[in-house]
Structure 1
Amino acid sequence: MTKRAWSETVSAKLLPDGRRLHLQHGPIDLIIEACGEDREKARAYDQALAAFETVLADLVSELPRLRSVTGPVPQGEIARVMWAATAAFAPEFITPMAAVAGSVADHILKRMIAGRALTRAYVNNGGDIALHLAEGTFRIGICDDPVTGRAGGFVQIRPEDRIGGIATSGWRGRSHSLGIADAVTVLAETAAQADAAATMIANRVDLPGSEKIAREAASELSPDTDLGDRPVTTDVGDLSMSEIHAALASGEQAAQAYLSRGLFKAAYLSLAGERRIVAAPGAEHLNQNAITNIREAACA
């Protein structure tokens, strides 16, 4: 986030399909959809826009604290959500910035649905998605590779699942990672929780000390990073099947520990075409296989 980014004006427009709203301000880029009567949808979009107009300025005002592991609890509404979602993983290293995308999505969704009779709604913040589901289902694509967009299947979410967020992390994504996962997708009660958990699990899919992994200090790649001089993954060579399984096993072990603490509902770990699934008891339906994407989910 730079001064140039937060000096830009808010952009809001309906997409050509006439049903989705695109909101953009600096580095924040949202795709939003509400499902319900036309009047309710219009009011929901107005509420989303009103909430969005102050998001970037509010975050920028607390950036030094949000990029730090320690310090007082932040004051802003979104910043406090970021802090709470990441503090749950203490004492492991994580800063509130690990939950920024999911927390923004949660915030806009919360304002968007307030007082509105909507059957379904979502706020997609670059793949970190906040969900509202009063009836029906959501079919969510699980990405095995965020660069190519290759999907490895889908999960069908029901209202009784109490899943309000989905997020994906990995070394090939838009943020730096300490691990080598191609993608780790997490379902949780909120997008902020999913965002934090995806980051932490992706960090643990790793082969420490392997010469096949290229790493560079995060600060050399992004001077304003919250990761400091920690080595982040910049390339992964050809791995043997035993190496792939070892890295995934490390991530799976961490995911099981986080799941036992109630930090998420289900996680999908992907590396070099291999996958591991960690899901809460009774969530067998989250292991289905097919391909779809939330961006294609119409209200009809």
Structure 2
Amino acid sequence: MKEEERVPFMALRRLIFVQEFPHVSATHLFTPEARILGRKAGEEDNSVGPPYYGTCAADKALGAQYGAAKKATLTTVVMTRPMLIEKIAAFTQIRNDIWAHPERRKFSVVTMSIVGPNINYGHPLMPFLRNVIGNMMEMDVPVVVCAGNDAMLPEHQQGGLDKDSGSIARRYNQGTMDEVSLGIDYAPGLDFKPNMPDCVRYMLAELTDGCDGNDPNNPENFKGGGTMKVGPVAYQIGPQTARQPAKSGLQGGCDGTYKVLWDEFTMWGNGFASSDFGAALKGQVDDCALLPNTWDFQYGLGSDGREWGGQVPHGRVPERAGKEAGAPGDFGCSGSG
């Protein structure tokens, strides 16, 4: 959920809005003053502050290209002024909306991108602000204030990012069982530049392969990530998904169900074909599939040891497809007739 004062909807709609924000709620929230003054969702009001600040924050939250939650729905709150009483009214509208839709609890995030005067913590309205934000926090709805600092206020200078800070973190294989984060962490201002030889040495030779051995609880030498500190620099690899126990090793299976005119096969696996959304398997099963584009693939853990599963109506038993995609040697299909 998004509290916003001046996202310039009409200009963005003409340019990139539809593409960048494909999930916008048709229902907008209004503060009482906004309703009295006849404000409309989509009006541009750039009289105070830059017109793009809230749009940038929304893009980071749920934009189609860079958003953290690309499938989330954007709900806006229409305001009139960046005053404390108006902010309280906006938060109250959000709280009441979540109260009316309990299914949104734990699944909503409120962000605020509004300029305004310095906060007076002794203001008589502050208890009301604390109360309404507290109500949302009690519903597991976090409130995020997207604020910058131009370092003009000395008391706000601490904690700013060093302009030369180079700490790096990236995620790869997102949305798959092999999703992993790679990071190099070092203090701001440190005279350090990442280089390929060190990355290969510490992330590949040490963190990835350095713990391989004859561990009976990890017969396939699955990788678990970790952190390696080299002086003031930390190299990090962090798996991002829950996996089956490593001691299970490679697993896979295939079950067929007779459908009169065809057999439907369900294939599943663990430890192979984990990072391409079933593309390798699709390339194999398509050769014998009865109909095009009928391969249905999903990631998910199962009590039988699986980490993914796929279904396809097939003309013949697809054992070869599984083995060519990396299945263990005993991979086979059963129950086909």
Question: Which TM-score band (shorter chain)?
Answer: under 0.3
Between structures 1 and 2, the one with greater strand share: 1
* TM-score of the pair, normalised by structure 1: 0.22
Structure with max Cα Rg: 2
Between structures 1 and 2, the one with greater helix share: 1
Q: Which has the higher contact order (CA 8 A, sep 6+)?
A: 1
* TM-score of the pair, normalised by structure 2: 0.20
